[in-house]
Amino acid sequence: MGFATGIYANRLAKRKSYISPQKILKQIKRTFQEETPIQGAWISTFTQPFQKFAFKTQVYSGGLSRMEDHQLIQYKFLADAKTGGVLDLQRL
């Protein structure tokens, strides 16, 4: 019984160590809005594995759109689920 409780507690602790996707999206939107207003934004509520070279982590994927030079421009991003840092950002 103690072993099963330990496994459950370990999984629960790992899950709770992630920053909420809504908090990450709010932070990214705030950064982009320093230049120009955001037209729309989204973020996945599920994490996915990400690996770049030897670095492995869990990420949230998301995107946003804003007006640049009178054109609607879209971006997609990957944010680290543990730190909230943007690991990849692409203009589409």
* Structural domain boundaries, residue 75: 19-91
Whether residue 41 is contained in a domain is answered as yes
Are 81 and 59 a contacting pair, CB within 8 Å? yes
Tally the C-alpha atoms within 13 A of residue 28's C-alpha that lie toward its C-beta: 30
pLDDT at 35: 85
Going by pLDDT thresholds of 50, 70 and 90, the confidence category of residue 8 is low
Task: Look at residue 4 and tell me if it is in a domain.
Answer: no
The structure's pTM equals 0.76
The total domain count for the chain is 1
pLDDT higher at 16 or 75: 75
Task: Collect all residues with Cβ–Cβ distance below 8 Å to 86 and sequence separation of at least 6.
Answer: 28, 77, 78, 79, 80
* 31 inside domain: yes
Torsion-angle region of 74 (φ positive above 0: left; ψ -120 to 50: alpha; else: beta): beta
CB 61 within 8 A of CB 43: yes
Residue 26 sits in a domain whose CATH number is 3.10.450
